[in-house]
Amino acid sequence: MRYLTTAVAALGVLAGLSTGLSERSSAADDSAWTTVKGQILWPGAIPQPKEIEKVKENQDKAHCLSKGPLYSEEWVINKSSKGIRHVFLWLTADPDSQKNKLAIHPSLKEIKVKEVELDQPCCAFVPHTLALREGQHLVAKNSSTVQHNVYCLGHPLRNPALNPLVPAGKSYTFDSLKADARLPVSLSCKIHPWMNAWVRVFDHPYYAITDENGNFEIKLAPVGDCTLMVWHESGWLGGIAGGKGRKITLKPGAVNDLGKIEWKP
């Protein structure tokens, strides 16, 4: 009996050591990942929204204008915060590093949401910008009462042109979009030529699009040196040189706040 008691006690000690090691290992793992956030701001006087006049000449104008005028979404800037909406941001490996790709957090390796939806409820794509991961499907819905088509165009070798017709109440699924680090995928409608939207496809989970206040957040990014890419449909932040990105170092801690970043056209 004494030997049995000793053995049980020893097992308890080992279990305690195992739990402690597991907790320390988890803490060490947590320190290798962080959240990146910031805000993209317009630096000066905010440009006035541009009403789209072509709508008034279209055969479907009664439907298209049924909820009021349509405005260009090229620049959507919050009057109060000066935050710029629809800016894409993503992380890439530091070009000076020997690693070609960033490490991916274990919880993000598997794609959990297979479909990403886009709608055309009233002669505009909603949302105007979308980001997805290679392997996800883009479902282009048409919840309106008129037909649309979705002319989808990216790099001719990676995302060649497709132009499906999408009748009222129907949808079309783009199920083979490929990641492209340089070129976005543009969406347009030939029936309503003012309609446009932008899609970027990635081979990793470290991307974001700014919200209505210009805020962005990328979770569970790997700590260390990397490059922040910032793109808007008007071009790269910083012009042509901005296409090389901005080197940043992500430090251990819950959040790396990049603060306010001004977009100077």
How confident is the model at residue 265, as a pLDDT? Answer: 76
Looking up tokens 């706040």, which residue turns up?
257
Integer Cα distance of 167 and 164 in angstroms: 10
Answering whether pTM is above 0.85, one says yes
Q: Whats the size of the chain, residue-wise?
A: 265
How confident is the model at residue 27, as a pLDDT? Answer: 42
How confident is the model at residue 14, as a pLDDT? Answer: 43
- Residues contacting residue 87 through CB under 8 Å, at least 6 positions apart: 40, 209, 210, 214, 216, 230, 231, 232, 237, 263
pLDDT in tens, 12-50: 544 444 444 444 444 447 899 999 999 999 999 999 999
pLDDT in tens, 226-238: 999 999 999 999 9
Confidence band, pLDDT 50/70/90 cuts, at residue 264? confident
How confident is the model at residue 110, as a pLDDT? Answer: 97
Return the structure tokens found at 225. Answer: 């040196």
What percent of the chain has a predicted confidence (pLDDT) above 90? Answer: 85
How confident is the model at residue 25, as a pLDDT? Answer: 43
pLDDT in tens, 119-158: 999 999 999 999 999 999 999 999 999 999 999 999 999 9
| Superfamily of 2-117+127-132+197-262 according to CATH | Immunoglobulins (2.60.40.10)
pLDDT in tens, 185-236: 999 999 999 999 999 999 999 999 999 999 999 999 999 999 999 999 999 9
Element (H, E) at 200: strand 196-202
Looking up tokens 């801690």, which residue turns up?
253
Cβ neighbours around 59 below 10 Å, total: 10
